């Protein structure tokens, strides 16, 4: 399941979940839209149980965007215990899985 996050609840979500994956997107970003079903599929994998998956509109949420240092879209960041562990601008499932693996390191 993917939760929509905004500037108003972003920090609370980071601080109340140990492992968090964030996808940053924009409504105009075609690649973001194409990747959305893949991100959903990744979020539903049994091995990712206990990981919170977030969607953040990068244009509407500047504070959440700044927390990850977004440089391009789509952009993914992983947070553990409220701290950014890794991030990457990628549109590949392997890239997102690599970031998620950093949460267990």
> Which positions are catalytic?
29, 32
Q: What number of residues does the chain have?
A: 105
Query: Residue 51 in contact with residue 21, Cβ under 8 Å?
Result: yes
- Radius of gyration in angstroms for the set of CA atoms belonging to the chain, rounded to a whole number: 12
Spatial distance between the Cα atoms of 93 and 25, rounded to a whole number of angstroms: 15
β-strand partners of 24:
56, 75
* Kind and range of the H or E run holding 95: helix 93-101
């Amino acid at each position: 399941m993917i939760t929509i996050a905004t500037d108003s609840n972003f920090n609370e979500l980071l601080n109340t979940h140990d492992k968090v994956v964030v996808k940053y997107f924009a409504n105009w970003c075609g690649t973001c839209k194409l990747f959305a079903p893949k991100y959903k599929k990744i979020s539903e994998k049994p091995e990712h149980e206990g990981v919170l998956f977030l969607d953040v509109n990068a244009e509407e949420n500047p504070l959440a965007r700044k927390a990850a240092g977004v440089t391009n879209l789509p952009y993914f960041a992983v947070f553990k215990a409220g701290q950014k562990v890794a991030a990457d601008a990628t549109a590949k499932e392997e890239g997102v899985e690599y970031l998620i693996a950093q949460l267990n390191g």
